[in-house]
Amino acid sequence: MTVVVDGPLTGRALPDLAAALAHPALPCPAAGLELVVYGEDFAARPSGEAGYLLDLNTGPLLTDRVSLDPTESLAFWYVIDRSVAHQAGRVLYGRPAPEAIAEPARADVLSAIRASVREHSAGEGHLADNRVLNGCRSVQFCRTGRWQPKRRAAQAVAASEDRFGPLLNAALRSYERPSRTAATALPATDVQAFLAWVAERVDETADAERAG
């Protein structure tokens, strides 16, 4: 969830907000809540930085995290999230998402995607199905310039790349299981081969755009 605030938050406002929203003080009915708060001025301009005022992770299946310092976080997560929010954000309150949240420069988004692929290739702390399905989203963004839901992106890549079909179908079956604590193990060599292919597609796209 992305929140854009239109005025300064001083004193204890941000820590108090994090405490009020933290599970179980406010019970989270989902696996977790990932909430990022931005200032209006930052959110309104394209940026390749993290730039948040507050980053909160909480919930029954998430490790609790509260950060008030964007320099302690990897920027690529936030660049990608703002790009997704700009294109497809559902507004709960306030202005339309494209007005409140600027689309980062495409070069910054591609750089963020490449960093994301490196992170997922390392594998630590990420479910295998998410690693694969986020790779599909990355490829589809390179192809279309639009962010697609994980299922749709995986189906599109599977339709065009037969060799990855079994892996992508297995990732989808795992993702659709009712409990995220029971994600299916996927063949490590197949996952790495797929992510290496994704990285090549991202690099090709970035190189082509730099060449003009």
Stretch 141-148: mean pLDDT, rounded? Answer: 98
Residue 41: closest CA among 8, 18, 74, 64? 8
Residue 206 has pLDDT above 90, yes or no: yes
Stretch 147-153: mean pLDDT, rounded? Answer: 98
The Cα-based distances of 103 to 11, 145, 202 in angstroms read 30, 11, 18
pLDDT digits (tens, 9 = 90+) for 68-100: 999 999 999 999 999 999 999 999 999 999 999
Q: Which residues contact 162 (CB under 8 A, 6 or more apart)?
A: none
At 180, is the pLDDT very low, low, confident or very high (cuts 50, 70, 90)?
A: low
Q: CB neighbours (10 Å) of residue 166?
A: 13
Q: Scan for tokens 């909480």, then name that residue.
A: 58
Q: Whole-angstrom Cα distance, residue 192 to residue 66?
A: 31
Amino acid at 40: E
Residue 129 has pLDDT above 90, yes or no: yes
Burial code (b: 16+ CB inside 10 Å, e: under 16) for 114-138 equals bbbbebbbeeeeebbbbbbbbbbbb
Helix (H) or strand (E) holding 78: helix 75-88
- What angle, rounded to 10 degrees, do the helices at 165-175 and 128-144 form? 120
Stretch 144-167: mean pLDDT, rounded? Answer: 98
Q: Whole-angstrom Cα distance, residue 52 to residue 136?
A: 27
pLDDT of residue 182: 62
- Residue pair 171/190 in contact by the 8 Å Cβ criterion: no
Amino acid at 47: S
8-22, 92-106, 178-192, range with the lowest pLDDT: 178-192
Q: Whole-angstrom Cα distance, residue 199 to residue 51?
A: 26
pLDDT of residue 202: 98
- Residue pair 193/187 in contact by the 8 Å Cβ criterion: no
Give the percent of the chain with pLDDT over 90: 87
Indicate the pTM of the whole model. 0.93
pLDDT of residue 181: 63
CA 40-112-172 angle, to 5 degrees, is: 105
